[in-house]
């Protein structure tokens, strides 16, 4: 396979994918408009692996000419498509932003892939496509009824990919992530969202005294009154993507697959785990509750195990430890 294009490769999950691909000997091309990504992470990876292994384009997927320019200049053999917006609350406040970014960008990418005969795509979707869980754990046969524009925009992008598979021969694996957490085990790359929307990250930052920590979840009917989620480690997640590329390369059929751990933790349970691992009993405040959040959700990942031989390796404690290492290395993240 020629170069792997990673869209959104300067962001949180995308940068971990770039790092792991480079570690495995792949040549990588990154597209990122740097709206919420950081050029600094690309600089760090270029320094470690060499510019001959990593190419970067500050391009916007919403601009088809910019996307085509990358495909003209680079020999792209497969795509990992991470680029997109992913804040539930923001999508409720500004739905148009999400439909434009997450749907138009995917359409332009697919059209360009067809034009330049790139057949393989691994897509970063979300468990938000399921909406409120009707049963647990949630498998891939669960109904898709998003309760926020973020989930709806990802579902619409999934459907685009499905149609291009039927009509244009596109080969795809669509991953529906549950909550992603953790960082590179060596502390080289990690999450730099400002502010972060991710619970474990914010709790670790609170424990380390980097920023005050406040709950932003609504009060719901669960065992302790806080939402329950499935927290999957980012390095485990990236491993699934690489297996998916190899699966497609070897003739695998189009698939939609959950990535999670099968275990649900409440918000307060995550906070208690962070306190336990760090040994810090940090203050927990209460801020305005986010809108559009389902009450309880965790994954059935049996399909990932069956199709890709993948299963989660990292515990929540492992993810917390990796975040501690990352934030001790870069307390304020990239850009400082």
Catalytic residue positions? 150
* Separation of alpha carbons 185 and 182, rounded Å: 8
* Strands 231-233 vs 284-286: parallel, antiparallel or unpaired: unpaired
Crossing angle for the helix pair 64-73 and 105-115, to the nearest 10 degrees: 40
Q: And the tokens for 53?
A: 């292994």
Please choose, from the candidates 177, 170, 171, the residue with its C-alpha nearest in 3D space to the C-alpha of residue 151. 177
Rounded distance between C-alpha atoms, residue 201 and residue 316, angstroms: 12
DSSP H helices, the chain, are 12-23, 39-49, 64-73, 88-93, 95-99, 105-115, 149-168, 199-207, 234-249, 267-278, 302-308, 316-329
Instruction: Collect all residues with Cβ–Cβ distance below 8 Å to 50 and sequence separation of at least 6.
Output: none
Q: Are 246 and 27 contacting, i.e. CB atoms less than 8 angstroms apart?
A: no
């Amino acid at each position: 396979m020629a170069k792997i294009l990673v869209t959104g490769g300067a962001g949180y999950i995308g940068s971990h994918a770039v790092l792991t691909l480079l570690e495995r000997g792949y040549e990588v091309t990154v597209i990122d408009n740097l709206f919420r990504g950081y050029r600094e992470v690309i600089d760090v990876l270029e320094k470690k692996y060499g510019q001959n292994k990593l190419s970067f384009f500050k391009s916007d997927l919403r601009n088809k000419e910019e996307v085509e320019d990358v495909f003209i200049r680079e020999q792209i053999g497969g795509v990992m498509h991470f680029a997109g917006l992913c804040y539930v609350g923001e999508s409720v406040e500004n739905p148009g932003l999400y439909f434009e970014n997450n749907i138009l960008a995917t359409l332009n990418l697919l059209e360009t892939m067809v034009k330049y005969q790139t057949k393989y795509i691994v897509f970063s979707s979300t468990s938000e496509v399921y909406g409120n869980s009707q049963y647990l754990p949630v498998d891939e046969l669960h109904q898709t009824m998003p309760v926020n524009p973020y989930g709806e925009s990802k579902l619409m992008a999934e459907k685009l990919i499905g149609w291009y598979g039927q009509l244009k021969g596109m080969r795809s694996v669509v991953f529906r992530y549950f909550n992603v957490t953790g960082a590179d085990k060596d502390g080289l790359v990690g999450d730099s969202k400002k502010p972060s929307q991710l619970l474990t990250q914010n709790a670790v930052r609170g424990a380390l005294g980097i920023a005050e920590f406040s709950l932003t979840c609504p009060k719901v009917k669960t065992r302790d009154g806080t939402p329950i989620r499935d927290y999957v480690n980012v390095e485990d997640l990236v491993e699934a993507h690489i297996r998916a590329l190899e699966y497609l390369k070897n003739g695998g059929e189009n698939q939609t697959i959950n990535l999670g751990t099968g275990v649900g933790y409440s918000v307060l349970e995550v906070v208690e785990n962070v306190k336990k691992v760090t040994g810090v009993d940090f203050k927990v405040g209460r801020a305005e509750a986010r809108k559009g959040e389902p009450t309880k959700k965790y994954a059935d990942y049996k399909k990932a195990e069956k199709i890709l031989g993948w299963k989660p390796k990292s515990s929540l404690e492992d993810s917390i430890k990796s975040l501690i290492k990352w934030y001790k290395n870069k307390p304020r993240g990239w850009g400082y």
